[in-house]
């Protein structure tokens, strides 16, 4: 079952003004039950806008979407969602516990369950000693923790997090990752936005890459990072122009990086063909290594190719 189903969502800000910005164009994606889904993209790609469309904080210019089987924006959908906005602000005159109480009321949690739930969520994020401290005294990391507790206060089916590890120290990041994985293990669905790819790689089951409002890749981390085999070949000697022209003509991607040749090739046979060509041209092979692409490499690669279009 799809927990989030978006169908050709387009959002244009200030459509009539001179400063019209197409933040999303025809974005379609599905998030499945029980997965951790990561929406990635450079700053300004439209990640936050997509989340805001799902929660009707902004209205889509066109397209439709459903969340938890209900139309987006409906109270039925919102009642089962927890959300951590980016740069979230909490009323700084309230204490951590008061903030959780306030949002549990707005979320419709019955009052007899409230106190136990507030205490439980504070404990979950390791903030129980700070429950009576005013928010204005919290550090950035503590704010993020109370934000997570807030997102989980009504025991949501779906948790939407916008840059959850932003401003959190490495230890805190690990804790957040562990918490998200525990949520998944409990059968919850997690949707997160991030530009921190190395982290996403560690926990996301599936990711989508957004650039300038367009979806350019979607799949499991494994699918996206092993689409092509990349090899590094160390050589001694000059790569001749003749070789380059030959590669260009046969559409073999070879580029030089730190004195090595980096080749994207379909299989090992193609690798050996390139090695043969190099040796025939009188170059000496000093090393050959398979280069597994990290999500980050793939991301940079894909985005720069996309931007060059």
Phi, psi of 203 (to 5 degrees): -125, -20
Closest separation between CB of residue 197 and ligand ADP, Å?
14
Among 5, 29, 37, 49, indicate the residue that binds ligand ADP (CB under 6 A). Answer: 49
Based on the shown chain and the rule CB under 8 A, indicate whether residue 179 belongs to the binding site for other proteins: no
Residue closest to Mg ion (Cβ): 48
Closest separation between CB of residue 298 and Mg ion, Å?
21
Region binding other proteins by CB under 8 A among candidate stretches 73-81, 119-127, 252-260, 289-297: 73-81
d(CA 110, CA 45): 39
Based on the shown chain and the rule CB under 6 A, indicate whether residue 44 belongs to the binding site for ligand ADP: yes
Residue with tokens 């494994």: 222
Helix axes 241-249, 268-280, angle to 10 degrees: 150
- Tell me how many residues contact other proteins (CB under 8 A): 30
Based on the shown chain and the rule CB under 8 A, indicate whether residue 139 belongs to the binding site for other proteins: no
Among 44, 91, 167, 266, indicate the residue that binds other proteins (CB under 8 A). Answer: 91
Parallel/antiparallel/unpaired status of strands 206-211 and 214-220:
antiparallel
Outline where DSSP puts E strands in the chain.
2-13, 21-32, 36-40, 62-67, 70-71, 81-84, 158-162, 189-194, 206-211, 214-220, 229-236, 253-257, 260-265, 284-291
Are 47 and 202 a contacting pair, CB within 8 Å? no
Residue with tokens 């997102």: 151
Based on the shown chain and the rule CB under 8 A, indicate whether residue 171 belongs to the binding site for other proteins: no
d(CA 82, CA 156): 5
Q: Spell out, one character per residue from 3 to 32, where the chain touches ligand ADP: x when CB under 6 A holds, - when not.
A: ----------xx------x-x---------
Are 274 and 233 a contacting pair, CB within 8 Å? yes
Residue 106 or 284 having the CB closest to other proteins: 106
Letter string b/e over residues 21-57, b meaning 16 or more CB atoms within 10 A of that residue's CB:
ebbbbebebbbeebbbbbbbbeeebbbbbbbbbbbbe
Among 4, 40, 45, 203, indicate the residue that binds ligand ADP (CB under 6 A). Answer: 45
Q: Which does 302 bind (CB under 5 to 8 A by kind): other proteins, Mg ion, ligand ADP, none?
A: none
Based on the shown chain and the rule CB under 6 A, indicate whether residue 144 belongs to the binding site for ligand ADP: no
Binding site for Mg ion (CB under 5 A): 47-48
Binding site for other proteins (CB under 8 A): 13, 52, 55-59, 75-76, 78-79, 81, 83, 85-91, 93-94, 102-103, 105-108, 150, 160
Binding site for ligand ADP (CB under 6 A): 13-14, 21, 23, 41, 43-49
């Amino acid at each position: 079952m799809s927990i989030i189903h978006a169908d050709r969502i387009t959002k244009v800000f200030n459509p009539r003004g001179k400063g019209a910005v197409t933040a999303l164009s025809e974005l379609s994606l599905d998030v499945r039950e029980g997965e951790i889904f990561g929406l990635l993209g450079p700053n300004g790609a439209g990640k936050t806008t997509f989340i805001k469309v799902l929660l009707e904080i902004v209205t889509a210019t066109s397209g439709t979407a459903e969340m938890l089987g209900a139309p987006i924006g409906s109270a039925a959908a919102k009642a089962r969602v927890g959300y951590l906005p980016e740069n979230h602000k909490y009323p700084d005159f309230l204490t951590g516990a008061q903030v959780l109480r306030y949002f549990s009321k707005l979320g419709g949690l019955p009052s007899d369950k409230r106190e136990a739930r507030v205490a439980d969520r504070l404990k979950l994020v390791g903030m129980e000693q700070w429950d009576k401290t005013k928010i204005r005294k919290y550090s950035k990391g503590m704010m993020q923790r109370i934000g997570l507790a807030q997102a989980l206060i009504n025991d949501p089916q779906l948790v939407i997090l916008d840059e959850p590890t932003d401003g959190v120290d490495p230890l805190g990041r690990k804790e957040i990752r562990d918490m998200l994985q525990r949520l998944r293990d409990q059968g919850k669905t997690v949707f997160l936005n991030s530009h921190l790819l190395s982290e996403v790689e560690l926990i996301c089951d599936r990711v989508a890459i957004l650039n300038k409002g367009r979806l350019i890749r979607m799949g499991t981390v494994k699918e996206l990072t092993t689409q092509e085999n990349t090899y590094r070949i160390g050589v001694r000697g000059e790569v001749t122009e003749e070789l380059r022209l030959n590669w260009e003509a046969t559409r073999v991607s070879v580029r030089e990086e730190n004195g090595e040749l980096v080749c994207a090739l379909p299989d090992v046979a193609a690798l050996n063909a390139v090695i043969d060509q190099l040796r025939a041209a009188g170059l000496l092979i000093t090393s050959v290594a398979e280069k597994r692409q990290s999500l980050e490499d793939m991301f940079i690669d894909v985005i720069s190719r996309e931007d060059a279009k």
